[in-house]
Amino acid sequence: MDLKDWFANRQKRRQQIDEVKTPLTTEEYCALWKQCFQCRELLYTRDLHSNLNVCPKCQYHFRVGAELRIEQLLDPNTFVELDANLQSADPLGFVDTEPYPRRQQEAMRKSGLKEAIITGTGKIEGQPAAVGVMDFDHFGGSMGSVVGEKVARLIEHAELKRMPVILISSSGGARMQEGILSLMQMAKTSAALKSFGDAGLLYISILSEPTYGGVTASFAMLGDIIIAEPGARIGFAGRRVIEQTIRQKLPADFQTAEYLLKHGQVDMVVERSNLRNTLSALIDLHTRTEQEQARPAKGAGSAQKAITTR
Amino acid sequence: MPPVERKIVPLEFEKPLAMLAQQIEALEKQLAESQSPDLDVDLQRLHEQYDVLRRSLYSNLRPFDHLALARHEQRPYTKDYFQRWDPSWIELHGDRKGADDPAMVGGFVRLSDDLKVLAVGIQKGRTLRERQACNFGCPQPEGYRKALRLFQHADKFGMPIVTLIDTPGAYPGMTAEEHNQSQAIALNLYEMAGLTVPVVAVITGEGGSGGALAIALANRVLMLEHSVYSVISPEGCASILWRSSDKAADACTAMKITAREIKELGVADEVIGEPLGGAHHDYDAAATTLKQALIRHLRDLQRMTPFQLREDRQNKYRKLGAFVES
């Protein structure tokens, strides 16, 4: 080796060492560690992940993104996505402090998703189900035309294949940037569920942190069975709006899953670790035996009668 | 019931018109005292000016002005329409589960000799006491459940349904949440989708969000000329997106909330004209125009079979939305 090369190599080595020594950015630290919102414990992200995003110390349920949720809930490699090619348009040409298309791009970058919901079919402990999972990190999980359309198509697909539907909600409400068309998605999804329900099929709604506004006031509250995740905040109007309207402080646990359970609004509060088992048991309970299949679904029967007798 | 000779309260954008009207009045008083031909000419000119200004003012309204008209405190409310359509209409009460919400009214209304409907609507209340009882037109869950009970009654007896909507939104209160406001609205949407009778909804004033939609899932949606229909109140939208509720006028424009825009988006089927200056200038004329439109739409819908009516309604909402499929 030439002496000159040796010096050159030494310089290169030093550069490499310097690169390793560069301290991690805050963002990188945040990716590695997460502080529990409830007990303030510092949690190693990988541990948190393997514990289904639940704090091992205080059982606080962190929000789960749509992709991760699918991974947690369904049998491995059974998920087939539907309608992945749907994307929002800008029907109003909406501009607030920024134009809507730019906000969409921002949301896509932040969540890595095209829209605030992923829909598809998969299996839960071997039982097929149509599943829709909302992602709060994409545009606050807001329901615009695409979310409404994807939910409606999922329900229609499930009706055709006679599968149960499971929808996991997490949303701030309707998407203002699509104006009245967002509001109409409440009608669209509810109407799709009506026809699905009349066919005698099972719909399980899971409410996760947070579920508000137009989503709560449409498909989220229409489940044959409604399950809430521990600590999730669920409601129609936001806490602040209510406090301003009635001019008094609300109880600390107002609008939490446990509060809703106490007030008869949900069937059960299920911990994330038990969610898969619970769903599987519920689907199994509603699978008709051959004998039961001979009986027509109640809804379909009465609707048919009402139509033919008039 | 408003007094027969009620003074119309001018809105902010109507101030120039009101000032001109004041001048005319003053001049008329002078003229009554002293007969002078000069004043006569002036008066005539002022009258002409008034007419021109009035017409141009109301044909160039901004979305924010429509909102102000829709919220006008003297605007005819649901019961004013029911009363004019059928002075002997029969009101029904209660959700049969524990309450009667005065913000939601309903009963049997005879629109013509051979057309009786079940009419349901949101009532804002005229006096302060009434307004407080109605929460300024914000129904509680009990109100939506009352509406649903009435819809089911109509469905049972094959009666067409007419709904009138004028609300800032569903009531955001503690008991409303405890009594499950969301479920009340959601269930209405679900059940209205399955009704087998004709349903016509009319936005008469404010169509505020889910609280309005909860009784508006209809075969036909009509909107009065100055009514508005929006996914969130313009103030709410402004405070979230602009971080200031002063930007409500901008939010009104951005969200496209006026009757004409809602029709262009395919949500409303017809815009019903109002007397010049708004429905509050002439209750009777407003009620008659609306009644005629309702009869026309209902007759049209009555040609469908129950099954077709249900399909028609579900298809209407199935098609709404804007997206790109790549």
Report phi then psi at A203, rounded to 5. -125, 120
Token pair, residue B190, equals 């679900």
Token pair, residue A235, equals 């409601």
Q: What is the CA radius of gyration of chain A?
A: 24
Choosing among A98, A145, A154, A183, which should be mutated to test the B contact, i.e. which has the most B CBs within 10 A? A183
Q: Is the pLDDT of residue A308 over 60?
A: no
Chain B contact present for A116, CB below 8 A? no
The whole-angstrom separation of Cα B284 and Cα B80 is 9
- Judged by average pLDDT, the poorest of A9-23, A261-275, A276-290, B116-130 is A9-23
Q: Which amino acid is at B210?
A: G
The whole-angstrom separation of Cα A238 and Cα A51 is 30
Chain B contact present for A252, CB below 8 A? no
Q: What single-letter DSSP state applies at residue B140? A: -
**How do the domains of chain B map onto residue ranges?**
12-60, 72-318
Question: Percentage of residues in chain A with pLDDT exceeding 90?
Answer: 67
C-alpha B198, offset from chain centre: 20
Strands A80-82 and A117-124: antiparallel
Number of A:B CB contacts under 8 A?
201
The 10 Å Cβ neighbour count of residue B138 is 22
The whole-angstrom separation of Cα B65 and Cα B155 is 38
How confident is the model over A38-77, as pLDDT tens digits? Answer: 888 888 888 888 899 999 889 899 999 999 999 999 999 9
Listed residue (B225, B262, B189, B251) closest to A180, CA to CA: B262
How confident is the model over B188-240, as pLDDT tens digits? Answer: 999 999 999 999 999 999 999 999 999 999 999 999 999 999 999 999 999 88
Give just the sign of the alpha carbon dihedral A87, B232, A195, B312.
negative
| Three-state secondary-structure class, residue B122 | strand
User: SS3 sequence, A151-198?
Assistant: HHHHHHHHHHHCCCEEEEEEECCECHHHHHHHHHHHHHHHHHHHHHHH
Token pair, residue B303, equals 């040609």
| Three-state secondary-structure class, residue A28 | helix
The whole-angstrom separation of Cα B68 and Cα B72 is 6
E strands, chain A, are 33-35, 42-44, 80-82, 86-88, 117-124, 127-134, 165-171, 203-211, 225-228, 268-269
B128, containing H or E segment:
helix B128-133
Out of B214, B242, B321, the one facing A145 most closely (by C-beta) is: B321
How confident is the model over B246-288, as pLDDT tens digits? Answer: 889 999 999 999 999 999 999 999 999 999 889 998 999 999 9
Token pair, residue A303, equals 């609707």
- The complex's ipTM? 0.92
**How do the domains of chain A map onto residue ranges?**
64-286
Q: How far is CA B315 from CA A119, B309, B318, B320, in A?
A: 22, 10, 5, 9
Compute the nearest-CA separation of A276 from chain B (Å): 25
Token pair, residue B136, equals 């300024």
Chain A contact present for B240, CB below 8 A? yes
What's the count of helices (H) and strands (E) in chain B, helices before strands?
A: 14, 9
What pLDDT was estimated at residue A296?
63
Chain B contact present for A68, CB below 8 A? no
What pLDDT was estimated at residue A9?
81
**Mean pLDDT to the nearest integer, B81-86:** 96
Q: What is the CATH number of domain B72-318?
A: 3.90.226.10
Residues forming a β-bridge with A132: A119, A167
Q: How far is CA A305 from CA A185, B177, B194, B233, in A?
A: 29, 36, 13, 42
Chain B residues inside the 8 Å CB shell of A254 = 174, 177
- Judged by average pLDDT, the poorest of A230-244, B12-26, B226-240 is B12-26
The 10 Å Cβ neighbour count of residue A53 is 20
The whole-angstrom separation of Cα B247 and Cα B224 is 25
The whole-angstrom separation of Cα A171 and Cα B211 is 18
Q: How far is CA A40 from CA A33, A36, A43, A54, A232, in A?
A: 12, 5, 9, 13, 18
Q: What single-letter DSSP state applies at residue A144? A: -
Q: What single-letter DSSP state applies at residue B118? A: E
Spatial contact of B251 and B238, defined as CB atoms under 8 Å apart: yes
Mean residue pLDDT of chain B comes to: 92
How confident is the model over A208-220, as pLDDT tens digits? Answer: 999 999 999 999 9
Q: Which residues contact B248 (CB under 8 A, 6 or more apart)?
A: B64, B67, B234, B235, B237, B238
**Mean pLDDT to the nearest integer, B158-165:** 97
Chain A residues inside the 8 Å CB shell of B181 = 217, 236-237
Instruction: Using pLDDT thresholds of 50, 70 and 90, give the confidence band for residue B30.
Output: confident
Q: What single-letter DSSP state applies at residue A23? A: P
Chain B residues inside the 8 Å CB shell of A187 = 189, 193, 213, 217, 317, 320
Q: What single-letter DSSP state applies at residue A220? A: G
Q: Is the pLDDT of residue A23 over 70?
A: no
Give just the sign of the alpha carbon dihedral A231, A235, A241, A244.
negative
Chain B contact present for A97, CB below 8 A? yes
Tokens 């019961």 appear where? Answer: B79
Chain B contact present for A149, CB below 8 A? yes
Q: Which amino acid is at A268?
A: M
Q: Which amino acid is at A80?
A: V
Token pair, residue A151, equals 């939910």
Q: Is the pLDDT of residue B11 over 80?
A: yes
Q: For residue B253, what is the nearest residue in chain A, using CA coordinates?
A: A94
Topology (CATH) of A64-286:
2-enoyl-CoA Hydratase; Chain A, domain 1 (3.90.226)
- Distance in angstroms between the alpha carbons of the first and the last residue of chain A: 100
Q: Which residues contact A306 (CB under 8 A, 6 or more apart)?
A: B155, B196, B306
Greatest CA separation for chain A: 102
Q: Is the pLDDT of residue A301 over 60?
A: no
What pLDDT was estimated at residue B1?
44
What pLDDT was estimated at residue A309?
46
The 10 Å Cβ neighbour count of residue A207 is 28
Q: What single-letter DSSP state applies at residue A234? A: B
Out of B182, B254, B320, the one facing A216 most closely (by C-beta) is: B182
Compute the nearest-CA separation of A264 from chain B (Å): 9
Chain B contact present for A306, CB below 8 A? yes
Q: For residue B190, what is the nearest residue in chain A, using CA coordinates?
A: A190
The whole-angstrom separation of Cα B224 and Cα B205 is 7
